[in-house]
A and B are shown apart, each in its own frame.
Chain A
Amino acid sequence: MKRISAPFLLALSAAAQAQQPAPSGVTVIAVPPLTSPDAGTKGNQMLAVGFDISRLVETDLRQTSELMPLPSKREDYYSYPEVTAPSFYKWRTLHAKAVLIGFVRSRSDGRLTVGCYIYDVDQGRELGRKGFVIAPSDWRLAAHKCSGLAYTSVTGSPGMFDTRIAYVAENGTGDGRSRRIAVMDSDGYNHRYLTAGDTMVLTPRLSPNASQLAYVSYASGRPNVRILNLDSKQERPLIPADSISFAPRYSPDGSKIVFSMMQGPNSDIYVVGASGGAPQRLTTAPGVDTDPSFSPDGSKIVFESDRGGSQQLYVMNADGSDERRMTFGGGWYAAPEWSPDGNLIAFTRRGQDGRRIGIVKPDGTGEQALTNGPGDEGPTWAASSREILFQRTNAAGRTALYRVTLVGGEPRAMSIPQDGSDPDWSGVVD
């Protein structure tokens, strides 16, 4: 996929041209190296950073199913004044529909100013721009923000380039299998472990801006939800009681956490302020109610319940009123997560032939399987609402993280240092 033969590229470009401006088509985008207003040695250093940024933008955009970046070439260099007044002729002849250009300028405090601009090539008008100041070592972050600008301008959806992924890193086998919570940038860089591996941990869930993490710890001998501040590294139990609590998830504004708690043999759904307070009980049905997930406007909660005999998805208002069953298919439906754009709910469907990932509209119609299983579970949405990350367990019991796009195709494995389960994908960090 890295190297694309010219005929293939041209065919795609032609298709994009024919379909333009159809939103379902592939948009060819040019990403020439960022320029710099600086002169001399400094200027050369800035141009080198600019070239790195444009190549990372190219890599970012190549991972999407909506944009097809042209290779970033050094000879596509342009001058600084052209950033705000580019010539489009060259990109038109290459069948590009959009071009992302920009600059890198050194500051007296040692940091860099990066500006990115995206233009519609056919109409010759600016679609958007973004500027920020970064430390030189954060050039990857600048590239991800530029990628997000390009993606959002073309598709109208938030980009998932400047986002974090939390998951459970697993080592060893059997009872001795160690588990650590790990967090990384969505492209796999900046990977770090947040827990030591001497305690069983489960279900890491990032707050929307990835500043906090809710997870389940066995530090007390039984599963309890704990909250970890990723900046201060301070940690606390979500609720003071020693009841078994699990399946935490943040509300879209990050102010609340919805979770499950056992009362005797009964598991119900509760909501509590992210900074503390008394939990409020939302469900009362006998049986297992768990895996709650807020709608993006915060007004509703989707969850799974086996109150009707088998696990099915239910929707209720955020205050617990008006509970309604939304799936009626065979087998079991579990682990729902509402998409960031509100249009779909992803879930795990369990049948005699294993577990697979599916999507359904919030009204219960339009169900569609995205993977073939048999060991798939735990879907989590990209900020773009166009891609899903999930856990796949193979026949030998090894776990890995896979990504699949809504338009279909084979799921792709994410590259992580060891086995991994239970992923959670944050919103755009910004």
Chain B
Amino acid sequence: MRKTLLLFTAITLAGSAQAQLPGLRKRGPAQPTQPALQPIDAMRAEFATQSGGTTVYYSAGNAVLGPPALTVLNAQAAWLRRHPEVVVRIEGYGDTGDTRDHALAIGARRAEEARSYLVLLGVPAMQILTTSWGKERPGLGRAVTILVR
């Protein structure tokens, strides 16, 4: 309700401004300063090299982040804090010998643990999506952070 009111006020002001000072309209509303947009592939390459890898590995059957995983995630968090304009999706995988639905849950859990740690390090939660591939795709026993935009 408050937003609508503000917007209404803004329009009224703009209307009156236009009536009194026609020249102002030409410039249009102030453009927000855009960050220099890089192609997504270049961003992904930069993310992968500067964060020490996109992938964290788990030992079979659990979702516990070991020291190597924490090292990778620390670097990922630092990079993501510098790039608040990107959104990433963490895709968790289960283990090869597991049954289908348990693997799905473990994959989701692995993605969620990685996400929680990144949020703990100050990455906005809105910046990170999660999903799970269970054992339905090759690449078991890990969670991969993928830049989506």
Query: Could you give, for residues 111-149 of chain B, a 1 whenever the CB lies within 8 Å of some chain A CB and a 0 otherwise?
Result: 011001000000000000111101011100000000000
Contact check, A262 vs B97: say whether CB atoms are below 8 A apart.
Answer: no
| Closest chain B residue, CB of each to CB of A266 | B109
Contact check, B99 vs A222: say whether CB atoms are below 8 A apart.
Answer: no
Contact check, B105 vs A290: say whether CB atoms are below 8 A apart.
Answer: yes
Question: Does A264 count as interface, using CB distance less than 8 angstroms?
Answer: yes
Question: Does B101 count as interface, using CB distance less than 8 angstroms?
Answer: yes
CA A291 – CA B116 in complex, angstroms? 26
Contact check, A334 vs B102: say whether CB atoms are below 8 A apart.
Answer: yes
Question: Does A370 count as interface, using CB distance less than 8 angstroms?
Answer: no
Chain B residues positioned under 8 Å from A311 (CB to CB):
99, 102
Contact check, A265 vs B116: say whether CB atoms are below 8 A apart.
Answer: yes
Given A223-B131, A244-B131: A378 and B100 interface contact (C-beta under 8 Å): yes
Instruction: Give the contacting residue for B102; candidates A218, A244, A264, A288; CB below 8 A.
Output: A288
Instruction: Give the contacting residue for B100; candidates A202, A221, A288, A332; CB below 8 A.
Output: A202
Chain A residues positioned under 8 Å from B63 (CB to CB):
265
Q: How far is the CB of B50 from chain A (nearest CB, A)?
A: 26
Question: Does A354 count as interface, using CB distance less than 8 angstroms?
Answer: yes
Number of interface residues of B (CB under 8 A): 24
Instruction: Give the contacting residue for B109; candidates A175, A203, A288, A377; CB below 8 A.
Output: A288
| Closest chain B residue, CB of each to CB of A377 | B99
Question: Does A257 count as interface, using CB distance less than 8 angstroms?
Answer: no
Question: Does B108 count as interface, using CB distance less than 8 angstroms?
Answer: yes
Chain A residues positioned under 8 Å from B137 (CB to CB):
174-175
Instruction: Give the contacting residue for A355; candidates B99, B105, B116; CB below 8 A.
Output: B99
Question: Does B85 count as interface, using CB distance less than 8 angstroms?
Answer: no
Q: Which has the most chain B C-beta neighbours within 10 Å: A222, A354, A422? A: A222
CA A262 – CA B132 in complex, angstroms? 11
CA A336 – CA B138 in complex, angstroms? 26
Given A200-B136, A265-B116, A422-B100: A288 and B131 interface contact (C-beta under 8 Å): no
Question: Does A335 count as interface, using CB distance less than 8 angstroms?
Answer: yes
Question: Does A270 count as interface, using CB distance less than 8 angstroms?
Answer: no
| Closest chain B residue, CB of each to CB of A391 | B100
Query: Could you give, for residues 72-91 of chain B, a 1 whenever the CB lies within 8 Å of some chain A CB and a 0 otherwise?
Result: 00000000000000000100
Question: Does A247 count as interface, using CB distance less than 8 angstroms?
Answer: yes
CA A275 – CA B136 in complex, angstroms? 29
Q: Is the interface of B mostly helix, strand, loop or mixed?
A: mixed
Q: How far is the CB of A280 from chain B (nearest CB, A)?
A: 20
Question: Does A306 count as interface, using CB distance less than 8 angstroms?
Answer: yes
Instruction: Give the contacting residue for A264; candidates B98, B99, B112; CB below 8 A.
Output: B112
Q: How far is the CB of B73 from chain A (nearest CB, A)?
A: 15
Question: Does B48 count as interface, using CB distance less than 8 angstroms?
Answer: no
Contact check, A222 vs B130: say whether CB atoms are below 8 A apart.
Answer: yes
Question: Does B104 count as interface, using CB distance less than 8 angstroms?
Answer: yes
Question: Does B56 count as interface, using CB distance less than 8 angstroms?
Answer: no
Question: Does A348 count as interface, using CB distance less than 8 angstroms?
Answer: yes
Given A174-B138, A222-B130, A262-B112: A334 and B99 interface contact (C-beta under 8 Å): yes
Contact check, B132 vs A260: say whether CB atoms are below 8 A apart.
Answer: no
Contact check, B104 vs A246: say whether CB atoms are below 8 A apart.
Answer: yes
| Closest chain A residue, CB of each to CB of B106 | A288
Contact check, A290 vs B136: say whether CB atoms are below 8 A apart.
Answer: no
Given A175-B137, A175-B138, A350-B97: A290 and B132 interface contact (C-beta under 8 Å): no
Question: Which residues of chain A from 234 to 265 have a CB within 8 Å of any chain B CB?
Answer: 244, 246-247, 260, 262, 264-265
Nearest 6 interchain pairs by C-beta: A222-B131, A334-B99, A267-B105, A288-B105, A247-B101, A265-B112
B contacts, CB < 8 Å to A: 63, 89, 97-102, 104-106, 108-109, 112-113, 116, 129-132, 134, 136-138
Sampled A-B contacts (11; CB under 8 Å): A202-B104, A202-B134, A223-B104, A223-B132, A246-B104, A266-B109, A267-B108, A288-B106, A290-B105, A335-B100, A355-B97
A contacts, CB < 8 Å to B: 174-175, 200, 202-203, 218, 221-223, 244, 246-247, 260, 262, 264-267, 288, 290-291, 304, 306, 311, 332, 334-335, 348, 350, 354-355, 377-378, 422
A-B contact sample (5 more), CB < 8 A, given A222-B129, A246-B101:
A202-B100, A203-B101, A262-B105, A262-B108, A354-B97
